[in-house]
Amino acid sequence: MTAVVVVGAGPVGLSAALALRARGLPVVLLEADPKDRARPGSRALFVHRETLALLDGMQPGLAGEITSYGRTWQTKRTLYRGREVYARTFPAPKGPPPFTSLRQVDTERFLRAACERAGVEFVWEARVTEVRTTARGARLTCADGRKWNCSYAVAADGAHSAVRRALGISMEGERGEGFHVVVDVADTPGAELPPERVFHYEHPGVGGRSVMRVPFTGGFQVDLQCRDGDLQEEFGTEEAVRRWLPAVVGEGHGDRILWVSTYHFLRKVAASFTDPHRRVLLVGEAAHLFPPFGARGMNSGIADAAAAADAVVSGVVEPFADVRRSAALFNSEAAGTALDHLRPRRRTVRLRQRAAAALSPVLPWCGEWLEHAPYGPRHGAPVVAGGKY
């Protein structure tokens, strides 16, 4: 019997495999896709300091590798209808940076190389379709009939988790109205945009929709908040992006678009993070889905992965399931607060934002509030929220 099988080689499954190897356990990682797959887009860009510390605990030096490739910008700016209401430039960090920004595909590249160094056994083109558990272990069956018996399985098979569905565990929560558009644009050599994160409320160039620009290594991501009733073809196709992008970042970037995607706002948490026999542990998007603002998805998924490895080693799964579910509920709530601010349903929220923008030249805390609010409560970092993990 294999000690532990991890299902899914996304950032969370790779982290789980690495964390298990760091604790000395043999690990088989089953991935549905082929070995040479291409993963799309920047997606989760932002890797928090706490996540970097967890990854370094899994393989010393890994955080340094990731941060020396990623970007840490020092300037944050917020604008409201074309006028700056907040700007701050922080000194260069002396020690580990507070975060690093790189495309998810690059984070996965570092994690996969770390797993290979650590001796994780990868099995590609292994799509898990069935799961059975007993008090002694789990049996996973793949679409092609291959079977894997293990003491524990860590399910990191993403938002449409087949493992979760096979166990009959439901997702609880809601799907919000509307969508936002995510665009990756490659830097123009010699004419790179300033390395700063910019949030613009009610940008006049895109009909008063809010826009964020975030740098990553080699380019930048632009997020456009669409309104309820906006059509995908008006904002969310590459052709549509070419139309509105110049108003947001200036001319000359349209032919450097790398990826365009639309993202719906889901706030869902699994009813349980484990099965009744406590042999399968759900982690990452198999267990929770949050809107991206606040960078809670991948970061809290990596915290799940570290906690799952501890639980497997100790053989005590229930506290993992409780603590990480509490963390997910906290993050879901926090993401909801951010969303209320980003897509105000109540007139009073818009009025408060307008008043804060008007007062920011004389009351700097108003500008600070506008700067921080789109990411949700700062209290309880996504990684640690809900308990010691």
Q: Which helix (H) or strand (E) holds 234?
A: helix 232-235
Give me the least distance between CB of 351 and ligand FAD, in Å please.
Answer: 29
Give me the least distance between CB of 32 and ligand FAD, in Å please.
Answer: 4
Give me the least distance between CB of 148 and ligand FAD, in Å please.
Answer: 11
Task: Please name the residues in contact with 377: beta carbons below 8 A apart, sequence gap of 6 or more.
Answer: 334, 337
**Closer residue to ligand FAD, CB minimum distance, 7 or 167:** 7
**Closer residue to ligand FAD, CB minimum distance, 17 or 357:** 17
**Closer residue to ligand FAD, CB minimum distance, 85 or 150:** 150
Integer Cα distance of 131 and 88 in angstroms = 51
Residues that bind ligand FAD (CB under 6 A): 7-13, 30-33, 43-44, 104, 127-128, 156-159, 162, 182, 261, 263, 284-285, 292, 295, 297-298, 301
Task: Please name the residues in contact with 190: beta carbons below 8 A apart, sequence gap of 6 or more.
Answer: none
**Closer residue to ligand FAD, CB minimum distance, 331 or 360:** 331
Give me the least distance between CB of 182 and ligand FAD, in Å please.
Answer: 5
**Closer residue to ligand FAD, CB minimum distance, 209 or 366:** 209
Residue type for 36, please? D
Integer Cα distance of 205 and 203 in angstroms = 5
Give me the least distance between CB of 322 and ligand FAD, in Å please.
Answer: 20
**Closer residue to ligand FAD, CB minimum distance, 155 or 356:** 155
**Closer residue to ligand FAD, CB minimum distance, 159 or 358:** 159
**Closer residue to ligand FAD, CB minimum distance, 198 or 298:** 298
**Closer residue to ligand FAD, CB minimum distance, 295 or 327:** 295
Give me the least distance between CB of 317 and ligand FAD, in Å please.
Answer: 19
Integer Cα distance of 176 and 205 in angstroms = 25
Give me the least distance between CB of 382 and ligand FAD, in Å please.
Answer: 10
Integer Cα distance of 27 and 115 in angstroms = 10
Integer Cα distance of 344 and 325 in angstroms = 27
Give the CB-nearest residue to ligand FAD.
10
Specify whether the CB–CB gap between 60 and 11 falls below 8 A. no
Q: What is the CA radius of gyration of the chain?
A: 21
Specify whether the CB–CB gap between 65 and 126 falls below 8 A. no
Give me the least distance between CB of 362 and ligand FAD, in Å please.
Answer: 35
Give me the least distance between CB of 316 and ligand FAD, in Å please.
Answer: 23
Give, in order, the Cα–Cα distances in Å from 2 to each of 25, 170, 317.
Answer: 10, 28, 18
If 0-12 CB within 10 Å is exposed, 13-18 middle and 19+ buried, where does residue 22 land?
middle
Beta strands 83-89 and 2-7: pairing type?
Answer: unpaired
Beta strands 196-203 and 209-216: pairing type?
Answer: antiparallel
Give me the least distance between CB of 184 and ligand FAD, in Å please.
Answer: 10
Query: Side-chain half-sphere of 18: how many Cα atoms within 13 Å?
Result: 29
Integer Cα distance of 284 and 304 in angstroms = 7
Task: Please name the residues in contact with 33: beta carbons below 8 A apart, sequence gap of 6 or more.
Answer: 9, 124, 125
**Closer residue to ligand FAD, CB minimum distance, 154 or 356:** 154
Integer Cα distance of 283 and 183 in angstroms = 27
